[in-house]
Structure 1
Amino acid sequence: MTNKNPTLSDVARASGVHFSTVSRVMNPQTRQMVSAEVAARVLVEANRLGYRPNRAASTLVTRKSRIIGVVLPDITNAVFPPILLGIEEGLRKHGYLAIVTNVGADEEEQLFVINRLLGQQVDGLILATARRHDPIIQMCIDQNVPLVMVNRSDDTGGASCVVSDDMVGMRLAVEHLLLQGHRHIAHIAGPENLSTGHMRRMGFLAAIQASELDPSHAFVFESSGYSRECGKAALLELLRQSPQTTAVVAGSDLMAIGCYDAIRELGLSCPEDISVVGHNDMPYMDMMRPPLSTIRIRHHGIGTEAARLILQAIEAPDAAVLDVRLRPELVERESTAPPRA
């Protein structure tokens, strides 16, 4: 004898209500159409019977899977978990779930994963993998795939994005160092092919230009990546080329930690010899030695806003493309101080 999976009709009989009432209760979008007392009774009986919605059948009827594909470049990077948390919380409120994949930086791997997600009939994509000139983004646009970019954006403006306002963030970092008295400030930039690398570089240069600082005293060194190792290698080379530098604005917190490594290797001290400002305010930056001054971006807010935009794109395909930039804030800790006299 086989156990038959309970159906909506079974739940309706157990709850003493009509089949259509159970159907409304089981859909978070229509649950408010049923009284709270009846909805609670239906949910109790559904749980007692072990009822599970048949998503495959539902997809055939509604042409919606209520699943969003979320593609990350590096799930080990502490920037992404709070963004993902915001995405998942925002989606669940509307009865959607996320399928999360980690793809790295390889374009062919990204294309493979995205095509597989689309083959699984996801209703839309949230991508944290965008490059400034990204054929995968264009492919999704051409195929009318609902799409939102997070943390990074591309240069075409063809799809909505939710990012931190990097121009503001870099201005806050530079102004902080200027107030400390620094006049030889450098920036370790992320890769130029990523919007975060490009915009933070532009923000740094704009802040220097808006100040009274001699632009020749501001040095930009592009790193090959955002890792700790890249940050260390970049600062070692930066100080070789610009030994007068007294303060560094790093393109990420991980790069800033790499700067700490380089400073120690050179027998120097932070902030006595070189002040360091990070970017992101990842968890535990306050526990570094010294605690890292950094630009705090609104990770969770980026995620919840991305969830809102992807659902909007699904429900209203002709809705306007939005470029949402959330304002960051400076967090002053102990890695910055006035330069030596």
Structure 2
Amino acid sequence: MGNVTSLQVAERAGVSQSAVSRVFTPGASASAKTVEKVRKAAQELGYRPNMMARAMITGKSRIIGLVVAYLDNQFYPLALERLSNALQAQGYHILVFTAANSRADVEEVMQELLDFQVDGIITASVGMTSDLTARCNAAGIPVVMFNRGQDGAGVSAVTSANVAGGETVGRYLLSCGHRNIAHISGWQGSSTGRDRQQGFVNVLTQAGITPQIIDGMYDRDTAAAATRTLMAQDAPPDAIFVGNDHMAFAVMDTLRQELGLRVPDDVAVIGYDDVPLAAWAAYDLTTMRQPVNRMVEATVATLLARLTDPTAPAKRIEIDSPLIRRGSTKGPKA
């Protein structure tokens, strides 16, 4: 049999062609009886709706493009799963692209997404240039940045309150009695890395402490090398704040397995994100919890608002994070 049409499905199901269209249009209204008859007929005939053809007719693809820089950080597969579920609940599907954090790679991927005529774009841990922002605005495609901010107006962004989070970490380590404190930061080319460092340094500076800082680049190997450098000093730190959990695990592995040190007795370690692995007994990591569910909800709501009203102004949303106290620090556990 050749390509099956919606008209053939309608005839088999004994309904109108418009009823078939409603059944296969996310968000459209159709009775349960109609849905059952149409889907049964479609299955018998082997019918599949042509989503691209529908997009050309309606001007809406019902596809959201999602660009992520890397997936080895356990926070992002979790966030992607929840973003996908939340968008599917609204009748959308996700088209995922990965891009290195370089301008050329991001521009190439964004152009591909524009060519696919996606309805909107979410970027996760990926920066946006002013040129890319202008191109998306000109194409009428709203963009929301997830877990990354951008200076200037024009792009909506949803993050945790990273400056405040860094401040919380600084106050907590001081309250635990630490004074020789180091920071293996997140990549300083990212707003999250800069903001967490800024809040942390602000609190320690007010206490008369200047922490040693090494950019961990959000990379496990770089964080491990930074740990060796810090601990080889004549006066090594007794506490290390690490810019995310992904790096913090590498820091703890290096301290314990390679350098033979005890966590937290010799060195306290605190991370950021609270990915599921942080609660495992092998790490028991004290960390700032990024409220991923609330961040996803805010991201989807912001994107849908821009899809409904393209003239709506861009928003920058910050969501407070709690400190989750576990066994990698000397303070009381939560």
Shared fold per TM-score greater than 0.5: yes
Matched, 1:254 2:250: no
Match in the other structure for 1:278: 271
Q: 2:4 aligns with which of 6, 12, 19?
A: 6
Deviations 1:67-90 (A, max 9, x none): 111111012221111111122112
Q: Deviations over 1:41-71 (max 9, x none)?
A: 3333333332211112211210111111111
Q: Report SS of the residue matched to 2:314.
A: coil
SS in 2 for 1:109: helix
Shift of the 132–258 alpha-carbon distance from structure 1 to 2, 3 Å rule, reads: farther
- Superposition TM-score, scaled by structure 2 size: 0.89
Q: How many residues align?
A: 330
Q: Equivalences for 1:1-341 in 2 at 5 Å?
A: 3-31=1-29, 34-131=30-127, 135-208=131-204, 213-214=207-208, 217-239=209-231, 243=235, 245-264=237-256, 265-287=258-280, 289-337=282-330
1:189-232 deviation per Cα after TM superposition (whole angstroms, max 9, x unaligned): 2222210111101121233356xx32xx2404131501121212
Unpaired runs of 5+ residues, structure 2, are: none
SS in 1 for 2:66: strand
Provide, for residues 134-164 of structure 1, a one-character-per-residue CA deviation record: whole Å limited to 9, x for no partner: 6434543454431111111111232111111
Q: Secondary structure of 1:126's partner?
A: strand
Q: Report if aligned partners of 1:90, 1:308 keep a CA contact under 8 Å in 2.
A: no
CA separation in 2, counterparts of 1:148 and 1:318?
14
Structure 1: state its 5+ residue gaps: none
* Structure 1 residues 204 and 161: alpha-carbon distance in aligned structure 2, compared to 1, 3 A threshold: same
2:2 is matched by which residue type in structure 1?
A: K
Partner of 1:64, secondary structure, is coil
2:77 and 2:121 mapped to 1: Cα distance? Answer: 17
Comparing 326-335 with 195-204, which one deviates more in the overlay?
Answer: 326-335
Q: Residue 30 of structure 1 aligns to which amino acid in structure 2?
A: A
Inter-partner Cα distance in structure 2 for 1:141 and 1:233: 42
Query: Separation in 1 of the partners of 2:234 and 2:299?
Result: 40
Cα distance in structure 2, aligned partners of 1:14 and 1:207: 70
SS of match in other structure, 1:284: helix
Q: Return closer, same or farther for 1:245/1:286 CA change in 2, 3 Å cut-off.
A: same
Distance in 1 (CA, whole Å) between partners of 2:39 and 2:93 is: 19
In 2, the alpha carbon distance for the partners of 1:132 and 1:100 equals 17
- Contact 1:148 1:310 (8 Å CA) reproduced: yes
SS at structure 1 position matched to 2:101: coil
Q: Following the alignment from structure 1 to structure 2, what is the Cα–Cα distance between the partners of residues 95 and 7?
A: 22
Distance 1:134 1:231 in 2: 31
- Whichever residue aligns with residue 238 of structure 2, its letter is T
For 1:20 and 1:307, the matched residues in 2 are separated by 29
Secondary structure of the 1:270 match is coil
Amino acid of the residue matched to residue 55 of structure 1? M
Q: How far does residue 129 in structure 1 lie from its aligned partner after superposition?
A: 4.1
- What displacement does 1:280 show? 0.9
RMSD: 2.3
Distance (Å, rounded) in 1 between the aligned partners of 2:239 and 2:74: 25
**CA distance, structure 2, for counterparts of residue 240 and residue 166 of structure 1:** 30
Structure 1 ranges of 4+ moved more than 4 A:
132-135, 239-242
The structure, 1 or 2, with the larger RCO (C-alpha pairs under 8 Å, 6+ apart) is 1
* Aligned equivalents of 2:283, 2:155: Cα separation in 1: 40
- In the alignment, the residues of structure 2 paired with residue 301 and residue 242 of structure 1 have an alpha-carbon distance, to the nearest angstrom, of 44
Distance between the aligned counterparts of 1:207 and 1:127, measured in 2? 31
Pairwise CA distance, 1:242:
7.9
Cα contact 1:12–1:18 (8 A) shared by 2? yes
TM-score with structure 1 setting the length: 0.88
